[in-house]
Amino acid sequence: MENLSKTELFSGISDEDIQQMLVCFQSFQKNYKEKETISIRNSFGDYIGLLLEGCISISRIRMDGSLDMLEYIEDSGIFGDAFTFGNQEDAILVLCEQDCRVLFIEKHHIIKRCPNACLHHSRLVENLMHLMAGKVMRLTEKVDILSHRSIRGKLLCYFRILSTQAGSPVFPLPFSLMALANFLCVDRSAMMRELKKMKEEGILERNGKMMRLL
């Protein structure tokens, strides 16, 4: 019902065709409020989620209760158990960090060939390719960050990415320090200690969530 033609997934497809596809795809939209849980593992197993608005985090909850953020998805990111992979013991938590609007599409319709040969299906697939390429880049970035052995290495690697994105040595953290520790998969207090050290050594300035890399 909303204007989907402006989203990256449906760009270049007319509103009528979009409506037709949505029916053909048996897709549905859902709105969520901040801090609401989208799904725990497997509830949307056969669907791919497309984040139209808002931002979400995907985390693993271990048996001991510890929580590690696997992904942080903002713009028109894709997610779903199809990607969050199958043979997982621990629970996966998909949490809305802001009010969100999500479009669910049956995996089948996107990955496999459409038997109805919808006219604009291939355009959709091409758009989806863009989104996938973006996801691959973000995941590669994440692997890059986590591949650093030390907390300082992870912090610096991530800060450089943020700094490059902002196009300036000054940039804001996209989330809280607590969430940052989860994102980097390190202990929060150890991270605070390291941040303090880096400040003392003059590598970094910090004022709340605003950072300056020197």
**Which chain residues interact with DNA by CB under 7 A?**
66, 149-153, 176-179, 185-194, 196, 208-209
178 binds, among its own copies, DNA, none (CB under 5 to 8 A by kind): DNA
| Angstrom distance (rounded) from CA 204 to CA 168 | 14
The token pair that represents 115 in the structure block = 């038997």
Number of residues that bind its own copies (CB under 8 A): 41
Cα dihedral 90/46/7/19 (nearest 10):
-160
Closer by beta carbon to DNA, 105 or else 156: 156
194 binds, among its own copies, DNA, none (CB under 5 to 8 A by kind): DNA
* CA atoms of 5 and 17, how far apart (whole Å): 10
Cβ proximity to its own copies: between 99 and 185 the closer is 185
| Angle (deg, nearest 10), helices 177-184 and 188-200 | 100
Place of tokens 């997982």: 88
Taking CA atoms, 163 is separated from 102, 140, 174, 211, in Å, by 29, 17, 12, 9
Residue 150, binding choice from its own copies, DNA, none, Cβ under 5 to 8 Å by partner class? DNA
Three-state SS string over 140-193 comes to HHHHHHHCCCCHHHHHHHHHHHHHHHHCCCEEECCCCHHHHHHHHCCCHHHHHH
Distance in Å, CB of 54 to DNA, minimum: 17
> At its nearest, how many Å lie between its own copies and the CB of residue 31?
26
Residues 86-145 that bind its own copies (CB under 8 A): 87-89, 110-111, 113, 122, 125-126, 128-130, 132-133, 135-137, 139-144
Residues that bind its own copies (CB under 8 A): 60, 68, 70-71, 82-85, 87-89, 110-111, 113, 122, 125-126, 128-130, 132-133, 135-137, 139-144, 146-149, 160-161, 164, 185-187
